[in-house]
Amino acid sequence: QVQLQESGPGLVKPSQTLFLACTVSGASGPTAFYYWAWIRQPPGKGLEWMGVISYTGSTYYSPSLKSRTSIARDTSKNQFTLQLLSVTPEDTAVYYCARAGSLRTVVTAKSDYDYWGQGAQVTVSS
């Protein structure tokens, strides 16, 4: 059984950097032949695809977030991570990590990805 678990701060101040980690268990980790994504859902809005890292380490980002987003992996910890620079209150959302068997650069429903973390609430506020 594959499990993904997000971890990170629940509260971040404006202009700071948000850092989240996703720990993968029950699988070969972020080097297995899958695509590992970060997706968020702002309050009252739909799912927003942020970016993905492939099993080769290649990364793909949403054009609207590309200048502020970095996704990496730590194979020693079976983790992949998200770094979001210069956050604003508009970055307040539930942040999810998820796995897909193929490269997807949009998300319209949770069924687009086969495994999800439970989600981490992140609030940006001073």
pLDDT at 33: 82
pLDDT at 106: 87
Q: Is the pLDDT of residue 45 over 90?
A: yes
Q: What is the mean pLDDT of the chain?
A: 93
Residue pLDDT, tens place only, 59-91: 999 999 999 999 999 988 999 999 999 999 999
Q: Is the pLDDT of residue 28 over 70?
A: no
pLDDT at 35: 93
Q: Is the pLDDT of residue 30 over 70?
A: no
Percent of the chain with pLDDT over 70: 95
Confidence band for 108, pLDDT divided at 50, 70 and 90: confident
SS (H, E, C) the chain: CCEEEEECCCEECCCCCEEEEEEEECCCHHHCCCEEEEEEECCCCCCEEEEEEECCCCEEECCCCCCCEEEEEEHHHCEEEEEECCCCHHHCEEEEEEEECCCCCCCCCHHHCCEECCCEEEEECC
